[in-house]
Structure 1
């Protein structure tokens, strides 16, 4: 049994990897097309909105550190049946979300290198296998790999910004809102999912050496890192590319071309792979531990429970996720299912998990405190976003029914008695 526990550096790398995604390569252009330079306000607004979401999950994780993550928080707040539904939403959405994410990364690489569909599928397969392989070895390796990759990614993004800044022109900020101020809201909706991922890393709360001390620090550091990377890149794109930004399909490549010439396409491809791998690596680390925790609590078959304790590797749960992911890939390829539908279905489940966790925060966190009010605000906003998932809401509904109908009802997570914070549980 491995005894490795997450430290601050590895924890921050995993958190940053969960938030950042390959969408950052194209989103600055899409947001600028919607709102012009005023899209910078959309980036800033969403970053500020991340604060109550992130602090809510950090506070809950510090009180209830467990591999069940949001499912554990919901169990403490609303009981095992609600917890089972939330667990199913996240666990069974992952086999759809991971291949879709890998394919998006493959498409970016193929576009950057001039390849076609075969290149995109090959890269996607390699990324998917690498993420599963990294997690099969355990957090000791996957955490260190994540630390190296996030560090390299930060360096590449910094190179893109620094080499392009000499070409910046403040005049590109005018007119600031060519499409009106309401367009900022449209830009924010495009950017929304580039700030998601906080729900995924809650399952790793029990893996920290000292959750009560480390989780707030990691969360704060992640917010700073993500904010600097996102805002720095978005501002540089606007200042350097100006009117060209809105019509670009690869704005980061254009930035890199300013300082690095023909090497820009290769670096863009490398960044796409790093971003995609980082996201999948973090989500798989969380989902595999969630599966073991659900089995421990009688919601999934008991054979999957091995690996639910901190420091262990949940290889059986990870294997099931791999098999389900392979089945999703086979079905998608054989039927030609649109990628957008697969991603929308997975997104509806992940949003539902986030809403459930925030509502649990409203129930469990000290009423009237700043973090409680943040939970109220974030739960309200995310609830509205969830409604706009449309037909995809059917997926979490059916998974919830399956969870309630098929679970053997245990008493819930055993690490902390229901409704009792960690601080009270410790002697």
Structure 2
């Protein structure tokens, strides 16, 4: 998966920032503050702050990797360069299959808001989840420029609305909600952090879009830095007002409660719009990255060759891989509905995959990045990522099993010769 030159990419810094922001500032911001509050009480703010601190070297590490090795394979490419084909296959399979498993979780966050606003029940949540997955698949089918353009508009609107929610809630802060602070001890903070990994995933998927930038070496760092600032302000702000304004009375739709408290019940439908747009934005970024990852893996024979056979000259959207991701997401959604499971049933399984991918990606960075601050950031990120895996616990065994299954498939089938384009093995990313 060694990329050819990446000239001709179409993403600007603003579009790249929008895609990165959507991937990191996903639908978790509309529900996770309540889940973290339940797990740790007011001390959940410590978990938010700790993960934001960890995000700085983590974001810098993946930005540096993307700038130096722009390729559609993302973390799988870094694993191959640092540790060989087998490691690349395992992390590639784990991450690729985690996207359709996690998509219903993300969509389900917003679907719960829709159900709350409309008075619907489980059926409403399932229908909304299916519709959002289909909408995002269509956006990606139309190409990266279309989906990135839509993403830019969504990101600007969402950032503005969340900032408004924070500002109008500050006058209603009640410091009594902050005591007692450590209601569940440090173990509660650890449990909250394990849940919040979901909220801070996203830096890794952007690496699969690195080849789409016009100037990867310059633009990825700019997009990452801008995203980091925005995410820090919005995440800490929403988490704080959820704890200090709503306290233990926070429900499954805390953002709706915050806005309704400031403006009245007429504001509840607005939070539904925010929830849906956040979700569409996040899933859009992950589908874009996952489809390119699947195509990149197919080129080296790590996944079935037909998965990336529609790439042609490297300038088309990997629609076959996109259809597989979206199709599996729908299967998971419908399967959960038939089994009577909630849409967030696979939350820890997905966060376990993200944590494991961070471990592999940062370990590769320690070997691939030059000395100085890039190497320091990589080492710090690796240590932090190992800690996240420990906090995740047993669910991390699922991506390990998925990776082993992928490795067994490739060993049984035997590696095919990579497809050569212009004399080199490549997946520099579709251009339209």
Confirm or deny a common fold (TM above 0.5): yes
Deviations 1:121-174 (A, max 9, x none): 221122111100110011111001111111111121122122222222445444
> 1:222, CA displacement in angstroms?
1.1
Q: Which residue of 2 aligns with 1:395?
A: 402
Does residue 323 (structure 1) correspond to residue 330 (structure 2)? The answer is: no
Residue of structure 1 equivalent to 2:275: 272
- Equivalent in the alignment of 1:259: 262
Tell me the alpha carbon deviations over residues 352-401 of structure 1, each in whole angstroms, 9 at most, x when there is no partner: 32222122112212256322322432343244346532653433332333
More divergent stretch after superposition (37-46 vs 89-98): 89-98
Q: What's the offset of the Cα at 1:175?
A: 4.0
Matches within 5 A, 1:144-159: 144-159=149-164
Partner residue of 2:107? Answer: 102
Q: 1:63 is matched with which residue?
A: 68
CA-based RMSD: 2.9
Shift in Å at residue 339 of structure 1? 4.3
| d(CA) in 1 for partners of 2:91, 2:211 | 18
Q: Which moved more, 1:262-271 or 1:330-339?
A: 330-339
User: Which of 268, 290, 310 is equivalent to 1:287?
Assistant: 290
**Which among 291, 300, 304 is matched to residue 301 of structure 1?**
304
CA contact (8 A) 2:86 2:407 kept: no
CA distance in 1 between counterparts of 2:256 and 2:142 reads 34
Instruction: Determine the structure 2 residue equivalent to 1:353.
Output: 357
- Equivalences for residues 93-132 of structure 1 within 5 A: 93-132=98-137
Query: Cα distance, 1:37 vs. partner?
Result: 2.9
The one-character-per-residue Cα deviations of 1:204-233 (angstroms, maximum 9, x if unpaired) are 010011111111111111111111110011
Q: CA deviation at 1:36?
A: 3.3
Give the equivalent residue in structure 2 for 1:223. Answer: 228
User: 2:34 maps to what in 1?
Assistant: 29
Aligned to 2:46: 41
Partners of 1:347 and 1:174 in 2: CA distance? 29
The match for 1:425 is none
Unaligned runs of 5+ in 1: 423-427
Contact kept? 1:93, 1:346, Cα under 8 Å: yes
* C-alpha distance in structure 2 between counterparts of 1:219 and 1:118, whole Å: 38
Q: Secondary structure at the match of 1:389?
A: helix
CA drift at 1:64: 0.7
Moved over 6 A (4+): 411-418
Hey, what's the Cα distance between the residues in 2 that align with 1:324 and 1:179?
38
Give the one of 88, 94, 99 matched to 2:93: 88
Partners in 1 of 2:154 and 2:242 — Cα distance?
A: 23
The alignment partner of 1:307 has SS state of: coil
2:384 to 363, 378, 381: 378
Q: TM-score by structure 2 length?
A: 0.86
